[in-house]
Amino acid sequence: MTVEERSAVLSLLNSAHVTEPTRRALLERLDVRYEREFFGEAEFERLRALALRLVPHNPAELNLTGTVDHRLHSGVGDGWRYADALPDGEAYRELLAALPDGFETLDGDAQDTAIHGVQSAHPHAFEDLLAELTEAFMAHPLTQYRFGYAGFADAPEWPRVGPNELEPREVAYGPR
């Protein structure tokens, strides 16, 4: 995250366009780092390598792998799972174990080939993990800034809702 990006995010988050509960949630997420608690060290490294291919990101900026680990450790779920699938944590472990030895050090193309293999062998776990990583990615204030998403700055209102009817704060937010 560049200094400019950070200051743009903070200045909108700290403005009167963002309500207090929204600000609290997003400020916390901006810098959150989770210690590994659920996965073993080797599993965690592998998950990180997999996550980088599935949802390309800079792990120094976005702690997607830690977010997944933290969610599993806390035991919070999303309300359902496929009846023929293992509980999320176990299913993810199985998915990781199905990747070839040394997956972490393969080059990108070889990693992608391996990923296609586990995608068809473990479709449910693959889908769940992809969705979970995507959620953590899209919910992050930095991603939102880079995509020019300003929907959280909804106070006091959006007076106009038609196509191309943008407020100054929407126009200003995001990379030039």
Binding site for another protein (CB under 8 A): 18-19, 21-22, 24-26, 29, 53-56, 75-84, 87, 112, 115, 119, 126-127, 130-131, 134-135, 137-139, 144, 146-149, 151-152, 154-159, 161-164, 166, 170
Question: Using an 8 Å Cβ cutoff, are 18 and 155 in contact?
Answer: yes
Q: Which is nearer to another protein, 7 or 24 (CB)?
A: 24
SS3 91: helix
Q: Which is nearer to another protein, 40 or 127 (CB)?
A: 127
Give the shortest CB-77-to-another protein separation in angstroms.
5
Burial of 40 (0-12, 13-18, 19+ CB in 10 A): exposed
Q: Which is nearer to another protein, 2 or 156 (CB)?
A: 156
Give the shortest CB-166-to-another protein separation in angstroms.
6
d(C-alpha 83, C-alpha 98), whole Å = 21
Q: Which is nearer to another protein, 30 or 41 (CB)?
A: 30
Question: Using an 8 Å Cβ cutoff, are 173 and 148 in contact?
Answer: yes
Angle at 129 between CA 40 and CA 25, to 5 degrees: 90
